[in-house]
């Protein structure tokens, strides 16, 4: 592939940090994890960070700590990675899907309230592809209905809603540091909160439910979701680069928009309330998606489907979702895909990507 879907920036500083950690004699969860937790929480404007071994794990301990249980309902988006909804199902709770906004592809905040029932306990919005959800209406609904808000910010490191960084609005927010995310620890995640009691619950849950003061005494059923100091050492270095990564990603999209003149293709946008970090370059086609994707493949440009339309995934069939209830999300999934927006993309690579996308129109005429 000339342009792979992801190209993490692991350089000499990250390698040095890993080597120093390995030589220190302490490689499991320790001081580096604490440093990363503190730094990332401060960056996002919250008080506490709880590092985990994945973003999925962060969502899981957040839901458990908030008391989500069997037969509860959590309102969320149908268009995301299943990592958003799987932890809900782990607890035998039910994801309740709200269709997306046609412009941002994020949960349509105006449609949430009519989905609330007596079983609803939380709202779980996803800042898809780095564009913030319209959070203010969701927070108003949650306060009025006594619901929790859990931000899935796996794509949105550094994104801002009305000037304030995402991850600082919900009762809990969860991030992923997988290899293709805004910054990486290779594998890893983090739950953020300004609630000290909630943070302690999540710390307990990520480490077998074991008391910090009494070794091998487990007051609750917990999990082995810890992050290692080796992974955290990479994260500490990466965080220092995050703002520069965001600037490059934003310039990439600006350049592509200036170059791509194909009316069949709709590129990412940015609403007035948002500061989009453009985790990837997602594209909607008016027609001929499969031919466009095949043209890109033949040209050495890797693509991915527009994540998952979750209600149609086999493990979710048991809930009996109405097939056409989330039509905008379903249509976007059928017509959309994404390509790399790595901060390492060169101007030549961006020009090649743009020209190839422009030429794709001839493939469907």
- Each residue's pLDDT tens digit, 35-80: 999 999 999 999 999 999 999 999 999 999 999 999 999 999 999 9
pLDDT of 167 over the 70 cut: yes
Mean pLDDT of all residues belonging to the chain: 96
213: which residues sit within 8 A by CB, 6+ positions away? none
* pLDDT number for residue 89: 98
* pLDDT number for residue 261: 82
pLDDT of 365 over the 90 cut: no
Percent of the chain predicted with pLDDT > 90: 93
Beta-sheet strand order (sheet of 189-193): 48-52, 189-193, 172-176, 148-152, 120-124, 73-76, 94-97
Q: Is 181 a catalytic residue?
A: yes
- Each residue's pLDDT tens digit, 89-103: 999 999 999 999 999
pLDDT of 330 over the 80 cut: yes
Higher-pLDDT residue of 216 and 245 is 245
* pLDDT number for residue 198: 98
pLDDT of 7 over the 80 cut: yes
Residue 360 banded pLDDT, cuts 50, 70, 90: confident
Alpha carbon distance 194, 100 (integer Å): 28
- Phi-psi label, residue 240: left if phi above 0, alpha if psi -120 to 50, beta otherwise: alpha
Alpha carbon distance 196, 283 (integer Å): 40
Q: Which of 94, 121, 181, 201 is catalytic?
A: 181
Q: Containing H/E element for 229?
A: helix 229-259
Backbone angles phi, psi at 139, to 5 degrees: -65, -40
- Each residue's pLDDT tens digit, 184-243: 999 999 999 999 999 999 999 999 999 888 889 899 999 999 999 999 999 999 999 999
* pLDDT number for residue 221: 93
* pLDDT number for residue 363: 63
Q: Which residue has the tokens 């709200």?
A: 98
Distances, alpha carbon 194 to alpha carbons 138, 144, 180, 191, in Å: 19, 20, 27, 11
Residue 123 banded pLDDT, cuts 50, 70, 90: very high
pLDDT of 283 over the 70 cut: yes
pLDDT of 255 over the 70 cut: yes
* pLDDT number for residue 212: 82
- Tell me the pTM: 0.96
Which domains are seen in the chain, by residue range?
A: 12-237 (3.40.640.10), 242-363 (3.90.1150.10)
Beta bridge mates, 122: 74, 148
């Amino acid at each position: 592939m000339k342009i792979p879907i992801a190209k993490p920036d692991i350089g000499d500083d990250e390698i040095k940090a890993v080597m120093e950690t390995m030589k220190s004699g302490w490689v499991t969860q320790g001081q580096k994890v604490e440093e990363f937790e503190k730094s990332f929480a401060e960056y996002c404007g919250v008080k506490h960070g709880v590092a985990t071994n994945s973003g999925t794990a962060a969502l899981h301990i957040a839901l458990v700590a908030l008391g989500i249980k069997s037969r509860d309902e959590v309102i969320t988006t149908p268009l995301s990675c299943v990592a958003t909804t799987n932890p809900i199902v782990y607890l035998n709770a039910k994801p309740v899907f709200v269709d997306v906004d046609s412009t941002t592809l994020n949960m349509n905040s105006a449609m949430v309230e009519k989905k609330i029932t007596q079983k609803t306990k939380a709202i779980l919005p996803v800042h898809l592809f780095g564009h913030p959800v319209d959070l203010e209406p969701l927070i108003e609904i949650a306060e009025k209905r006594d619901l929790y808000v859990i931000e899935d910010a796996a794509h949105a490191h550094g994104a801002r809603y009305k000037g304030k960084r995402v991850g600082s609005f919900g009762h809990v927010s969860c991030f992923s540091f997988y290899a293709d995310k805004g910054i990486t620890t290779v594998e890893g995640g983090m739950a953020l909160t300004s609630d000290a009691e909630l943070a302690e619950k999540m710390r307990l849950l990520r480490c077998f439910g074991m008391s910090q003061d009494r070794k091998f005494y487990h007051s609750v059923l917990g999990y082995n979701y810890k992050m290692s100091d080796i992974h955290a050492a990479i994260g500490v270095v990466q965080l220092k680069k995050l703002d520069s990564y965001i600037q490059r990603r934003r310039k990439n999209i600006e350049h592509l928009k200036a170059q791509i003149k194909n009316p069949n293709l709709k590129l990412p946008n940015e609403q007035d309330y948002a500061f989009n970090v453009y985790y990837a370059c997602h594209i909607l086609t008016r027609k001929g998606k499969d031919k466009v994707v095949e043209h890109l493949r033949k040209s050495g440009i890797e693509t991915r489907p527009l994540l998952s339309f979750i209600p149609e995934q086999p493990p979710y069939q048991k809930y009996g979702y109405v097939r056409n209830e989330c039509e905008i999300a379903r249509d976007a999934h059928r017509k959309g895909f994404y390509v790399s927006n790595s901060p390492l993309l060169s101007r030549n690579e961006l020009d090649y990507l743009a020209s190839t996308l422009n030429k794709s129109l001839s493939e469907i005429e």
